[in-house]
């Protein structure tokens, strides 16, 4: 009996320790789980928080790309930038490195293929878990542009030829360089040429008949034509363009005087802008495809190079004497749309001079354009305004040159939407 009891007692010895060890094991497991949860939580929460930093920087890169393309269609592709990628750093507690990569690609919008500039913005921030990156991709494409006439010369009221003016086609074909007035067309010059139709609602000077070139089918000379809808500046376009060019430059006057690198006109100028004459008619300023908004007057004594749209609330003038020129790259690649919203008889007083070519359009829906020339300059483009007065001996040319791809309507770029990577 005793032996049995002893055996039983001996069997219980070590149970306390065993139970304790089991309890310790359980506690250790629990403790380890709690620590693991805390560590995992720290890792996840940390990575999420840093990822949000990276995401906001990547979106900053996308914003930068969209805004910059509205200033400059050639953003990231212009000389001086390191090709189609750009890396910069944003300083500060939540700063990091942003890399923009540009590709031109085609996307389908409403079933239609559209060519867009696609910018991938990758941002990287430093974290205790190593570098953390996020990617955002934004498509930037053409926004709408204002509807200009297909006429080479178009007046809301009167179109007046006062010189030896030729309205021609760039390929010298007899048809296509059409002129129209919702009022009358008058002519006071000795000779001239129109390689297209001449139409007006309230009459055409009889002299005009002699200068219409023969064509097959014959060009129309119609002094009793129907009135056509004159292309006013679309208010929405105007509002959008003003918003795009909202980067204001203060001051009553801004002067461009060339230099290296050639200064770029961009954004909004709150006062007058003067383009100075440079030696050898070198450009004094350039425009890189964006919208430039000038609150005051634009005085062009010299050359603006490039392509884009310049909206002027005041007058556009060139000096009445001297050798002021408008435009232009000798290769004929420049393409500038000048718009004056000024309502008055001197919205644009433009003098083309020498043998320079200018490629672009003059558009003053509420005012008059007075176009004079010195020498025999060529204007590849069009003139559209309330009244048009043309003097001197310029060639106004309807641009059909295949190598130039015709006249491209200047517009501006806008975001077509963005998405978050990975891609």
Partner 1 sequence: MQMKTKRGWRRGLSLIETIAAIILIMFAVAVFGATFPTAANAVAKNRNRDTAANACNAELDAWRREGYDKISSTTLKSGSTLLRTASPSSLLGNPASLPAGTVAVTISRLNDTYAVPATAVDTGRVQVTVTATWKGVGADKGSWTLTTIIRQAE
**Does residue 248 touch partner 1 according to CB under 8 A?**
yes
Q: Which is nearer to partner 1, 205 or 240 (CB)?
A: 240
What token pair was written down for 171?
């390929």
Residues 279-308 contacting partner 1, CB under 8 A: none
DSSP 97-166: EEEEEEEEEEEEETTEEEEEEEEEEEEEE--TTS-EEEEEEEEEEE-------S-SEEESS-EEEEE-EE
The single residue among 205, 234, 346, 414 that binds partner 1, judged by CB under 8 A, is 414
Binding residues for partner 1, rule CB under 8 A, total: 61
**Does residue 234 touch partner 1 according to CB under 8 A?**
no
What token pair was written down for 252?
């009553």
Q: Which is nearer to partner 1, 89 or 150 (CB)?
A: 89
CA distances for 47 relative to 59, 129, 403, angstroms? 18, 7, 54
**Does residue 263 touch partner 1 according to CB under 8 A?**
no
What token pair was written down for 281?
């008619």
CA distances for 362 relative to 149, 191, 370, 407, angstroms? 12, 24, 10, 13
Coil vs helix vs strand at 297: coil
**Does residue 138 touch partner 1 according to CB under 8 A?**
no
State the minimum distance, in angstroms, from the CB of residue 185 to partner 1: 39
Residues 362-401 contacting partner 1, CB under 8 A: none
**Does residue 106 touch partner 1 according to CB under 8 A?**
no
CA distances for 110 relative to 113, 224, 416, 419, angstroms? 8, 42, 12, 18
The answer to whether the beta carbons of residues 234 and 254 sit under 8 Å apart is no
The single residue among 78, 94, 215, 233 that binds partner 1, judged by CB under 8 A, is 94
The single residue among 83, 92, 130, 280 that binds partner 1, judged by CB under 8 A, is 92
Cα 176 to the chain's mean position, in Å? Answer: 29
The single residue among 52, 107, 233, 333 that binds partner 1, judged by CB under 8 A, is 52
The single residue among 76, 100, 244, 294 that binds partner 1, judged by CB under 8 A, is 244
Q: Which is nearer to partner 1, 67 or 189 (CB)?
A: 67
**Does residue 7 touch partner 1 according to CB under 8 A?**
no
**Does residue 143 touch partner 1 according to CB under 8 A?**
yes
Q: Which is nearer to partner 1, 21 or 109 (CB)?
A: 21
Sequence-ordered list of residues with C-beta below 8 angstroms from that of 154, at least 6 positions apart, any chain: 179, 180, 181, 228, 230, 382, 383, 384, 388
CA max distance for the chain? 148
**Does residue 22 touch partner 1 according to CB under 8 A?**
no
The single residue among 84, 193, 222, 240 that binds partner 1, judged by CB under 8 A, is 240
Burial classification of residue 12, based on how many CB atoms lie within 10 Å of its CB (0-12 exposed, 13-18 middle, 19 or more buried): exposed
Residues comprising the chain, all counted: 423
**Does residue 30 touch partner 1 according to CB under 8 A?**
yes
The single residue among 80, 250, 320, 423 that binds partner 1, judged by CB under 8 A, is 250
The binding site for partner 1 (CB under 8 A) comprises 6, 10, 13-14, 16-17, 19-21, 23-24, 27-28, 30-31, 34-35, 37-38, 41-42, 44-46, 48-49, 52-53, 55-57, 59-60, 63-64, 66-68, 70-71, 88-95, 143, 240, 243-244, 246-250, 267, 412, 414-415
């Amino acid at each position: 009996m005793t032996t049995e009891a002893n055996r039983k007692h001996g069997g219980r010895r070590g149970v306390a320790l065993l139970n304790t060890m089991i309890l310790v094991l359980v506690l250790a497991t629990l403790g380890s789980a709690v620590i693991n949860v805390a560590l995992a939580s720290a890792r996840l929460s940390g990575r999420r928080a840093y990822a949000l930093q990276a995401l906001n920087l990547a979106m900053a890169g996308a914003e930068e790309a969209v805004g910059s393309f509205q200033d400059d269609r050639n953003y990231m592709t212009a000389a001086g930038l390191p090709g189609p990628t750009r890396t910069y750093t944003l300083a500060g507690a939540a700063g990091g490195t942003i890399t923009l990569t540009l590709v031109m690609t085609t996307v389908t919008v409403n079933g239609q293929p559209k060519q867009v500039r696609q910018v991938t913005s990758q941002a990287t921030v430093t974290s205790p878990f190593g570098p953390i990156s996020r990617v955002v991709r934004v498509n930037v494409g053409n926004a709408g542009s204002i509807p200009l006439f297909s006429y080479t010369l178009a007046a809301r009221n009167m179109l007046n030829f006062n010189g030896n003016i030729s309205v021609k086609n760039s390929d010298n074909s007899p048809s296509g360089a059409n002129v129209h007035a919702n009022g009358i067309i008058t002519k006071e010059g000795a000779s001239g040429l129109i390689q297209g139709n001449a139409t007006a609602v309230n009459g055409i000077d009889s002299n005009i008949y002699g200068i219409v070139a023969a064509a097959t089918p014959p060009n129309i000379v119609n002094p009793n034509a129907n009135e056509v809808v004159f292309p006013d500046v679309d208010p929405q376009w105007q509002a959008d363009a003003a918003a795009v060019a909202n980067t204001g430059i203060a001051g009553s006057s801004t002067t461009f005087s060339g230099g290296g690198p050639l200064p770029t006109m961009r954004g909004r100028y709150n006062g007058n802008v003067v383009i100075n004459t440079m030696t050898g008619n070198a450009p004094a300023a350039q425009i890189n495809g964006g919208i430039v908004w000038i609150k005051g007057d634009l005085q062009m004594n010299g050359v603006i190079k490039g392509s884009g749209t310049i909206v002027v609330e005041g007058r556009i003038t060139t000096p009445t004497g001297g050798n002021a020129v408008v435009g232009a790259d000798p290769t004929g690649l420049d393409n500038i749309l000048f718009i004056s919203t000024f309502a008055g008889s001197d919205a644009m007083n433009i003098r083309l001079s020498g043998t320079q070519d200018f490629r672009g359009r003059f558009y003053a829906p509420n005012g008059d354009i007075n176009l004079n020339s010195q020498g025999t300059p060529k204007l590849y483009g069009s003139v559209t305004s309330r009244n048009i007065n043309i003097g001197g001996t310029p060639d106004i040319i309807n641009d059909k040159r295949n190598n130039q791809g015709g006249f491209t309507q200047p517009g501006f770029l806008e975001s077509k939407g963005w998405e978050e990577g990975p891609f």
